[in-house]
Amino acid sequence: MKLVIVTTAEEFQNKVLKLFKNAQIENVSTSDIDGYKNIATLLSASNWFSGSGSGTESCLFFSFTDEEHIDILFRLIEEFNTTLETNNPVKAVVVPIDRFI
């Protein structure tokens, strides 16, 4: 079992959920997050009086699944990213799980 974590701009949320479905990963958790391109943006956001410190509305998905389904998901994400006309591709990482209950 492994943990797959995927991040994307909010506008692609439904499309990424379909990628999980097409990879037959049915148990997925999501969270809304703010994405930042560089640390200067994040630092200006911490300024009490800053009016332009918000990040990009983004989504984080995660699921505990097996390597076979993750391989399918990664292939689908790679294909999806080739169709994008933006510099915000869907990103994914895999984390091994040593123990679980």
Tell me the pLDDT tens digit for each residue of 53-68: 567 889 999 999 999 9
pLDDT of residue 44: 56
Q: Which domains does the chain have, with CATH numbers?
A: 2-46+56-96 (3.30.70.120)
pLDDT at 95: 95
pLDDT for the residue 101: 87
Residue type, 46: S
| Residue 5 pLDDT | 98
Of residues 95 and 45, the one with the higher pLDDT is: 95
pTM for this structure?
A: 0.82
Measured in degrees and rounded to the nearest 5, phi and psi for residue 26 equal -95, -20
Q: Which two tokens stand for residue 14?
A: 């439904």
Q: Which residue type, as a one-letter code, is found at position 78?
A: E
- What's the chain's average pLDDT? 87
Both tokens of residue 94? 């895999």
The predicted-structure confidence for 5-46, as pLDDT tens digits, reads as follows 999 999 999 999 999 999 999 999 999 998 777 666 545 555
